[in-house]
Amino acid sequence: MILVVMGVSGSGKSTLGRALAGHLGWDFIEGDEHHSNRSVEKMRSGRPLTDEDRRPWLERLHDIVARYSDQGQSVVLTCSALKAEYREILGRDVSDLRFVFLSGAPAVVRERVQARKQHFMPPELLDSQIAELEPPDAAVVVPVQLSSDEQVRLVCQALAH
């Protein structure tokens, strides 16, 4: 199974992704580590990424999860996957890909983003992500306010793991 933990910046993708991968004994891939230097610098300077900026990143992530899928291995990937078209790129010709959507009130997520100190995504870009977000039709929806343990339990119950 390929599990994509998605949501806006600050929703807790990395925390949940690592916890799920550890609980399940699967590999973990931090999607942010695969952004180009140009994209990271663009975000760091407070400018939101465009679809054109995101496409090569999404293609890189797709190639990674496709390799896992082709080899019959499971993995947890974090990726904002804000739009349906982005999720389609990730899932193209990938069997058993599922999404876990971290959902919460913008005020809660904003507080988390403002508390982060070592991330390239500045708080002022959160509004652009919220505006672009197209919540998925088919996903395990996880409230951001739950503890990490509660989130892992909810996802595992939903996926029957």
Please report the pLDDT score of residue 106 as a whole number: 79
Count of other CB atoms within 10 angstroms of residue 37: 7
Give the per-residue pLDDT at 55.
96
Tokens of 29: 């891939």
pLDDT in tens, 27-56: 999 998 999 999 888 888 888 889 999 999
**pLDDT tens digits, residue range 91-149?**
999 989 999 999 988 777 777 666 656 555 566 677 888 889 999 999 999 999 999 99
Q: b/e map of 48-76 (b: 16 or more CB within 10 Å)?
A: bbeeebbeebbeebbebbbebbeeeebbb
Q: Where are the domains of the chain?
A: 2-159
- Mean pLDDT (the chain) is 90
What is 2-159's CATH number?
A: 3.40.50.300
Task: Determine the pLDDT at residue 31.
Answer: 95
CA distance linking residue 33 with residue 35, whole number of Å: 6
pTM reported for the whole predicted model: 0.90
